[in-house]
Amino acid sequence: MRDDIALAAMDLVVAQGFEATTMDEIAAKAGVSRRSLFRYFGTKEDVVLHGLASTGEFIRAALATRPLTEAPWEALLAVARSMESTPGWDTARERAIGRVCVETPALRARRAEKHAGWIELIAPELAVRPAAAPVGQAAAEAIIAAGLACLDVATDRWVAAEGTDLATLLEEAVAAVRA
């Protein structure tokens, strides 16, 4: 039900903008009462960014399948490249969602909060990698934080540049940080 409500919300927000979309409209489109909507989500930001929680879990799970001999940055980039080929990835829809997130200050702030949660979620998968030089928890958290900053920059550029793929922009941003 949470996924269905979030999809309905994203359809509305992409079509009419975040500020113009009301919780009542989201509830109506999702076919639930306002009260039910608030049982699932506390805020409009939480409804719209519901998918980010599952994306963090996807990244963690995908990292767990990468070879332990792969260095942390290479593993993260491999996972990022694989996301665009996962079932259900719709580039046009993801770009539209990204655009709404980039253009809406409240969503940018909430996205940053969700990303902070990803650091705690994903760091253990990087910390155990024995590649060239093993990384500890602090180093893993720093790599993920830097990677998320690169993702934010890449997303900003991606929503502004039709025809460019997100993975390439992320790779460029990571290369700049690692230089």
Q: Please give the tally of structural domains in the chain.
A: 2
What global pTM score does this model have?
A: 0.84
Which pLDDT belongs to residue 63?
A: 92
Whether 115 and 143 share a structural domain: yes
Could you give the percent of the chain with pLDDT greater than 90?
Answer: 46
If asked whether residues 110 and 90 sit together in one domain, one would say: yes
Domain with residue 145: its CATH number is: 1.10.357.10
29-33, 64-68, 126-130, 147-151, range with the lowest pLDDT? 126-130
C-beta neighbour count of 149 within 10 angstroms: 15
The residue segments making up the domain with residue 28 are 2-46
Residue 44 corresponds to which tokens in the numbers above?
Answer: 């409009």
Q: Residue 9: which CATH number?
A: 1.10.10.60
Q: Is 44 exposed, middle or buried (0-12, 13-18, 19+ CB in 10 A)?
A: buried
In this structure, the answer to whether residues 21 and 64 fall within a common structural domain is no
Do 165 and 86 belong to one domain? yes
Whether 34 and 72 have beta carbons less than 8 Å apart is answered as: no
81 and 154 inside one domain:
yes
